[in-house]
Amino acid sequence: MARNRVIYQSQAVYASQTAFNETGTLSGAVAQLDRIQSANYSFSVGRTDVNQFGDLAAIDRIITESPTVSFDTSYYLANFYNEHRLGFRVTPSGGATFASAITDIIDSAKDAHQKNYYILTTKEGKDANEDYTTGDYDSIIGIGNAFITNYSSEAAVGGLPTVSVSAEGQNMNFVNLPFLGNGTNPGTTTANGFTTGVGSQGANSLLRVSGESPAINATNGAALGKFVTLPVAKTNLSDTGAALISSLRPGDITLTLAQKSGNAVGTAAIDNGLPTDYAGASISDAHIQSYTLGFDLGRTPIEKLGSKFAFARVVDFPVTVSLSVDAVLADLTSGSLAEMIDCDQEYDARISIKDSVCGTGIQSVVCNYIVKGLKVDSQSFTSSIGDNKSVTLDFSAQIGGPNQSGMGVFMSGACAGKNHL
C-alpha cells in the first residue's frame, strides 16, 4: 500500500565526507546527527530564455548556470558532537590548543570543507531509530558536495538551546530501497539495500543500509558511481557508548563579556579583570534573556567553459560573526556615545553551557563559545506600559585565519575527538 505521509518519527539525518579512497571506500565514517528538529531541502535551476524575432514565446529555455541544492537543519544543543561531524574545529574539553572554528571548513585541502548529507526514511509508522530489522527502511535522499553557508546558535529563557545550519550542494539523489523482508538478503556495499549479520540484536541484525553516493565529480558533473553505507540510527549517540543528555537547559547558560585582554584563547581569555561595561546599558547588572550567535559563509561558484557545474564554491571573505544579546535593563553606566567612539574598545565574550550531574550539584562545561575581538554595533532600548524596560546589544567581529587566535569564534567542549570526520 502507498504510504499516507512522512513524519519526524520515520526520519534520521546523517553526514559524511564526499571523497573516496583508492579502494572505493568512503574516506571517513558516515555519522548520524543528534537531536534533529527539522531538515529541509530543495533545489533550483536557473534558466535563460532563447527568444527570436517572429516568435512571441521563447523557442527554448536552457540551463546556463550550475544548479543550487539547499539543505537546512536545526537541532537541540546537547554537546559539540554535531559540530565535530559537520566539520567545525572543536577543542575537546581540557584541550590547550585552540583554532578558529572554521579552520577546516575554509581549507579546500581538507575533507571538512564539503560534506554529503543523507535523510533516511523508514516505512510509515516505524521509528527510524533502533530499527534492526531489514525491510522497514524505505528510501534515502542524498545531498552531495555541500558547503556550509550559515551557522547560528541561540537560546532564550523558557526555551532550549538550538543550533541552525545551512548548506548549499551541487547534487541531490533519491534512492528507493528494495523490500527484502527480515534478514532474507545480506546486501552489499556496492548496491542499494541492506547488510545483515551477527549484531547486537541477534544473527540477522541489520548492520547498515547502503545507497548510491550523491557526490559528483565537480569538474564534469558526472556521478561518482560509488555507494555509501549508513549505520543503524540510534536514539542516543556517543563514540564511547554512553547515552547523551537530552538537551542543555537555558538555566545552565552563562554569558561573560569583558574588555579585550590580548590573552590567548583559553580559560583566561576573558577573565582579565578589565572593566566590563561601557556607556549605556550595564552588562554586569543586566538580566540576560536571550543570545544569538551566528556567522554567514557566503560562497561564490566558480565555473569554467566545458563544465555544467561549478568546479569550486569559494568563501566570500571577510567572514563576520555577530552576537546579539537581549536583556532586562537594570542600571546604566555613565558615559556618552562620543566617548565610546573615541575609545572604541574591543571585547571578548564567552558563552558557557553546563550540564548538571544529578544529585551532586556539580556542573561541567559541555559547550563553550568564545568570541574575541568584538566591537559594539548598536544598543536598542525598549520601554512600554506593562513590560520591563529591555535592551538589545549587538556586537560583531571578523573571523581570522588559523593562526589569528586574537579574533573570531572558537568552540571547545564535549566532542568526538580532535579531528573532524
Domain-located, residue 84 = yes
Query: Mean per-residue pLDDT for 336-343?
Result: 53
Cα 192 to Cα 157, 195, 229: the distances in Å are 46, 10, 9
Give the pLDDT band (50/70/90) at residue 204: low
Judge whether 132 and 110 are in contact, CB under 8 Å.
no
Domain-located, residue 55 = no
Residue 342: the pLDDT is: 52
Query: Does one domain contain both 119 and 212?
Result: yes
Question: How many domains in the chain?
Answer: 2
For residues 40 and 238, what is the distance between their CA atoms, to the nearest angstrom?
25
Query: Does one domain contain both 273 and 340?
Result: yes
Q: Pick from 231, 259, 281: which residue ends a domain? A: 231
Would the pLDDT of 239 be above 50? no
What pLDDT, in 10s, does the model give residues 357-411? 565 556 678 889 999 999 989 888 888 998 888 888 899 999 988 777 888 999 9
Query: Does one domain contain both 204 and 259?
Result: no
Mind giving me the DSSP string for 142-196?
Answer: EEEEEEEEEEEEEEETTS--EEEEEEEESEEEEEEPPP--TT-----TTSSEEEE
Would the pLDDT of 17 be above 70? yes
- What 184-189 contacts at long range (C-beta under 8 Å, 24+ apart), as own/partner pairs, is 184/134, 184/135, 185/134, 189/25, 189/227, 189/229
Q: Pick from 200, 231, 262: which residue ends a domain? A: 231
Query: Nearest to residue 218, comparing CAs of 93, 314, 122, 283?
Result: 314
Query: Nearest to residue 349, comparing CAs of 288, 415, 416, 420?
Result: 288
Q: For the chain, what percent of residues have pLDDT higher than 70?
A: 73
Q: Which residue has the cell 563514540?
A: 239
Range of the domain at 175: 8-48+60-231
Other C-beta atoms closer than 10 Å to the C-beta of 89 total 24
Considering only residues 115 and 29, tell me which one the structure prediction assigns the higher pLDDT: 115
Would the pLDDT of 203 be above 70? no
Query: Nearest to residue 226, comparing CAs of 52, 20, 56, 398?
Result: 20
Pull the grid cell for residue 197. 549479520
Q: Pick from 186, 203, 231: which residue ends a domain? A: 231
H-helix or E-strand spanning residue 203: strand 202-212
Q: Which residue has the cell 538589545?
A: 392
Query: Does one domain contain both 96 and 178?
Result: yes
Would the pLDDT of 332 be above 50? yes
Query: Mean per-residue pLDDT for 305-329?
Result: 86
Query: Does one domain contain both 340 and 408?
Result: yes
Judge whether 72 and 38 are in contact, CB under 8 Å.
yes
Give the pLDDT band (50/70/90) at residue 287: confident
Query: Does one domain contain both 285 and 387?
Result: yes
For residues 319 and 103, what is the distance between their CA atoms, to the nearest angstrom?
12
Query: Does one domain contain both 269 and 168?
Result: no
Judge whether 224 and 142 are in contact, CB under 8 Å.
no
Domain-located, residue 419 = no
Would the pLDDT of 295 be above 60? yes
Residue 243: the pLDDT is: 44
Considering only residues 241 and 121, tell me which one the structure prediction assigns the higher pLDDT: 121
Cα 175 to Cα 121, 230, 314: the distances in Å are 10, 13, 29
What pLDDT, in 10s, does the model give residues 80-137? 999 999 999 998 876 667 889 999 898 877 767 889 999 999 888 888 888 766 667 8
Query: Does one domain contain both 187 and 114?
Result: yes
Q: Which residue has the cell 514565446?
A: 57
Query: Does one domain contain both 133 and 207?
Result: yes
Judge whether 68 and 43 are in contact, CB under 8 Å.
yes
State which amino acid sits at residue 338. Answer: A
Q: What is the mean pLDDT of the chain?
A: 78
Residue 271: the pLDDT is: 44
Judge whether 396 and 296 are in contact, CB under 8 Å.
no
**Exposure string over 272-293, b if 16+ CB within 10 A, otherwise e:** eeeebbbbbbbbeebebbbbeb
Residue 11: the pLDDT is: 93
Give the pLDDT band (50/70/90) at residue 205: low
User: Residues 6 or more apart from 107 whose CB is under 8 A from it?
Assistant: 113
Query: Does one domain contain both 284 and 180?
Result: no
Residue 73: the pLDDT is: 97
Domain-located, residue 238 = no
For residues 216 and 345, what is the distance between their CA atoms, to the nearest angstrom?
47
Residue 292: the pLDDT is: 96
Give the pLDDT band (50/70/90) at residue 259: confident
Give the pLDDT band (50/70/90) at residue 69: very high
What pLDDT, in 10s, does the model give residues 260-274? 766 555 544 444 444
What pLDDT, in 10s, does the model give residues 138-184? 889 999 999 999 999 999 988 889 999 999 999 999 988 765 443 33
Highest mean pLDDT among 210-219, 285-294, 335-344, 391-400: 391-400
